[in-house]
Chains A and B, each alone.
Chain A
Amino acid sequence: MVISGLLEHRADGTLVRRVESPFRETTELRGENVVVEREGNRTRRFSLDRAPELRGMLASFGALLSGDAATLRRHFTVTVHGAPERWQIELVPQDEKLRARLARIVVHGAGDRPACFTLTEPDGDATIMAIGVNDRADLPATLERDVLEAWCAGTAGR
């Protein structure tokens, strides 16, 4: 499934994931709470404890955006490949419970900008987030997983 929208990381640590198409949904991660509001549905609230993969994402996001390597190392085993103009960081959660839900996060990027977040579950399923794509035309024509992964790794220097 392909969805697009906005990710917003606020100064207070709140992460807002706004899906705009093909449906509208807003997820707010603030403190320990997750609130999911989807058009035509009841608001769903749950604790971050129920979604450890989110906790991982939140931690990696915050630390990456603020360049906080110490925090990143506290939560993940960090492996860095590539050169400054085209890099790839692999994050493997240190917490066993989290690893049961989230095998690893791979971040592709160039310079000071992350381009793709790939969250891989232990069963191999993955969620790929391409960041900073404002136009569908910027993405590959077919959105198959391997195509997209190659795009993340290869065209990261856009």
Chain B
Amino acid sequence: MSPAGRGLLLAAWLAALALLGTLVERRLEVGTDLRLFMPTPRTAQERLVLEEIGEGPASRLLLLAITGPDPAAAAATSSALVAKLRDSEQFRWAANGEADVGTLPDDLLAYRYLLSPTLDHERLDAPFLQAQLQERLRDLASPAAGFLEPWLPRDPTLELLRLAEAWQPSSQPQLLHDVWFDAAGREALLVAETRAAGFDPQGQREAADALKRSFEQVRTDPALELVASGPGAFSVLMKERTQGEAQRLGGLATLGMVLLLLVAYRSASLLVLGLLPLASAGLAGLAAVSSVFGPVHGITLAFGFTLIGVAQDYPMHLFSHQHRGVDPRQNVRALWPTLATGVASTCVAYLAFLFSGVRGLAQLSVFTVAGLAAAGLTTRFLLPALVPLRGNDAAESAALGRLWDRLAGLPRPLWLGAAIAAACVASLALSSRPLWQDELGGLTPVPRHLIERDSALRRELGAPDVRYLILIQDRDPQQVLSRAAALDPELGTLVSNGGLAGFDHPARYLPTLEKQERRRAALPPPAELQAALDTATATTPFRPGVFRPFLDDVERARHLPALGPQDLAGTPLEARVGGLLLESGDHWTGLVTLTGLTDPAALGRIAAGTEGATLLDLKQAAEDLVANQRTRILWCLAGSALLLVLVVSIALRDAARVGRVLAPMALTTLVVLAALHAGGMSLSLFHLIALVLAAGLGLDYALFFERAADDPAEQRRTLHAVLVCSLSTLMVFALLATSSLPVLRAIGVTVSVGVVGNFVLALLLTRPGRAP
């Protein structure tokens, strides 16, 4: 091709990439909900588990502590912060223990008679009112007089105070300066529920920012500090740490890669040209995923780019086999059957994830398959025209020649393969430790001191248990509420037995319509109430007529429609009830959250005795989900392994050759499994992804070694290609293996061991015999 033609082609390719880039950029929507990488729920129970893990009130709860030298300043900041968070878009509600009588808006104040339990066992008659007024007189003689006095004309029975007390958490920390403090009296404690789900790091990030801003606006003393804890805070922290470390290691890896390629090919233009298939792969992958799935998950992107790193190998094979006197296009034609087999079989392996039932993995699959196909095709059809004709011939390297001669002299110990396989299988089979990691959070572990701090805060605040939860389901929200309320006596018994510290459910805030109507019916008509009140007031020093606002409120309450879940919009009750009473499709679910549970078995019996109620053990349920998911993925992988054998068989058409090509890869997979297990690691989904990546790499190495014909020069070129490919890959993943984060380390170690195993075993088992 003429230099002008090459320039035109390069320009056209770059333009196409730029165009695709803009298209993708315009459509790209990056999601961050980690649940995309969790199993797709298939039963109602599984759906609930996942919803609860990511969206339940426990997962949205942030536990906050304000510390500083002056507790009074911390308390004042706590009050101001709660007010600020209540107004914030990012938070559903916030509490710091202030029994704020004003939490009910004025137009709902009359509802106190429908919401408070007083009328279940009392009547607003003369004896009751008289007893209440006596109590109020005593209140007025007590130190509480100051803040009760203004409410008495409107609320002589202190119904509002009863409600405010009833809505406080069942067990709460000590109050200092009217707000929650830890037992030592040094930290002001608060809780806030975010609107974003716990597993939505982006939403949690926004909530964390809003929290920080609010705190800085309201803090009364620069010495004060705010600490936030909880699932959401952790997901933000872990995301940032993972991102930071991945970026740092990625930067190092890129630098190393550039150096390695410059050493290997001594050409800056090849270095740049080699990036084109990779760039095409990335953009094609992105375009495919965003057109199939819409929003692309952030993790899909991160892993996807790791996985299509293999595409960097394709141009290297071309470059390494390039030598004087050969047109690159002719060269690529000769390499293509081998390269195409590698690309096709790797794509087949990644297809397994499409059927894994995990949305994030399906995205990853589409991304990788589209990307690798694009890289393979551009390497075959576009790149050769751009490769300069002259360049280094790897075959001329004396060092490489000596290395190859020495390698060729190595025995081909076929028995070794069998021995390794047997040893690996035996070590895996004989081990007593579980092979798999079942814990959902196992790969993003939160630092130990933060966990300890979290449980300390949780204990102080009496925050709900993140593991156990009772669910009550029915088509009718009223049924859910009435069953929740019916649990009160039994749960109360468990609390007094010490098996439970406290509990919360929607009926604590919102009684059933029926109950509200019964209370309303118990309210006396105006004349009757007036008479009763007059009788009661006559025995006290209270001025007659002072309770006019009370009479008005009761009369208003007598005509109020009972409150249902849909009437709470815009009220402070909306947030409290909304988190505990959820509508999904034609179902309503009530949550009974538990605090300080020590006797799950007793709780299980209580739940079993209530219609429509289930005790959910989120930890157990999540582990079951993970195990089921894994089984499914393993089956998919088995299927794709069969397909892979089929692809290779069709390409090579010779059982002996097929065996030589597949043996190193299969053996390496066993070796990696055994090595990881021996190293004390439990395998997770990410190890599986990494294993597939390693297998794809191994297959390429074996295919090229197997291809290397009898021509010694071509053999050296192949050795050069595979050396460059494996060294560059090893460098990238060995860097990842040094990460402090288990998820990055899992991938790094797996692929590193896999690359070494594949290279060595392909060399020993697949390389052609010494040229005669």
Contacts and interface: CB of A to CB of B under 8 A. Distances in A.
Interface of A: 1, 3, 17, 19, 23, 25, 27, 29, 31-34, 36, 38, 41-42, 44-54, 101, 127
A25 B142 contact: yes
Contact of A45 (B72, B135, B175, B185): B175
Interface stretch (B143-151, B200-208, B457-465, B606-614): B143-151
A44 B146 contact: no
B120 interface: no
B212 to A, nearest CB: 27
B138 A23 contact: yes
B176 A44 contact: no
B144 A44 contact: yes
Interface string B161-183: 00001000000001111100000
B178 A49 contact: yes
B146 A38 contact: no
A46 B142 contact: no
Contacts of A41: 135
B146 A1 contact: no
B399 interface: no
Contact of B143 (A3, A31, A54): A54
Contact of A25 (B71, B138, B176, B185): B138
Interface residues of B, number: 20
B419 interface: no
A27 B147 contact: no
Q: Among the interface residues A34, A36, A45, A47, which one has the most CB atoms of the partner chain B within 10 A? A: A47
Contacts of B140: 1
Nearest to B147: A50
Contacts of B165: 42
A120 B569 CA distance: 46
Given A1-B137, A36-B144, 9 more contacts: A1-B141, A34-B143, A42-B165, A44-B144, A47-B177, A49-B178, A51-B146, A54-B143, A54-B146
Given A27-B143, A29-B143, A52-B146, A47 B175 contact: yes
A32 B147 contact: no
Contacts of A32: 71-72, 176-177
Contact of B178 (A23, A31, A42, A50): A50
Interface of B: 71-72, 135, 137-138, 140-144, 146-147, 165, 174-178, 185, 541
Contacts of A44: 144
Nearest to A50: B147
A51 B142 CA distance: 11
A99 to B, nearest CB: 13
Contacts of B174: 33
Q: Lowest 4 CB-CB distances: which A-B pairs, in order? A: A47-B178, A50-B147, A51-B146, A54-B143
A47 B141 contact: no
B380 to A, nearest CB: 77
A52 B143 CA distance: 10
Contacts of A31: 176, 185
B147 A33 contact: no
A53 B147 CA distance: 11
Contacts of B72: 32
Contacts of A38: 135, 138, 142
Given A25-B142, A38-B138, A41-B135, A51 B147 contact: yes
B137 A33 contact: no
A1 to B, nearest CB: 5
Nearest to B181: A32
B177 A17 contact: no
A77 B175 CA distance: 32
A46 B178 contact: yes
Given A42-B165, A47-B178, A36 B137 contact: no
Q: Which of A32, A34, A54 has most chain B Cβ within 10 Å? A: A32
Nearest to A29: B143
Contacts of B146: 50-54, 101
Contacts of B144: 34, 36, 44, 46, 51
Given A1-B137, A23-B138, A25-B138, A33 B175 contact: yes
19 contacts: A1-B140, A1-B141, A1-B541, A3-B141, A17-B143, A25-B142, A27-B143, A29-B143, A32-B177, A33-B174, A33-B176, A36-B142, A38-B142, A42-B165, A46-B175, A50-B147, A52-B146, A53-B143, A54-B146
Contacts of A23: 138
Nearest to A53: B146
Given A25-B142, A54-B143, A47 B137 contact: no
A49 B177 contact: yes
A67 to B, nearest CB: 25
A143 to B, nearest CB: 13
Residue of A1, A29, A101 with highest tally of chain B CB at under 10 A: A1
A3 B138 CA distance: 9
Nearest to B141: A1
Nearest to A54: B143
Contacts of A27: 142-143
A22 to B, nearest CB: 9
Contacts of B138: 1, 23, 25, 38
Given A23-B138, A25-B138, A36 B176 contact: no
Q: Which of B72, B142, B165, B176 has the most CB of A within 10 A?
A: B142
Given A23-B138, A41-B135, A47 B143 contact: no
A17 to B, nearest CB: 7
Contacts of B176: 31-33, 47
B175 A36 contact: no
Contacts of B175: 33, 45-47
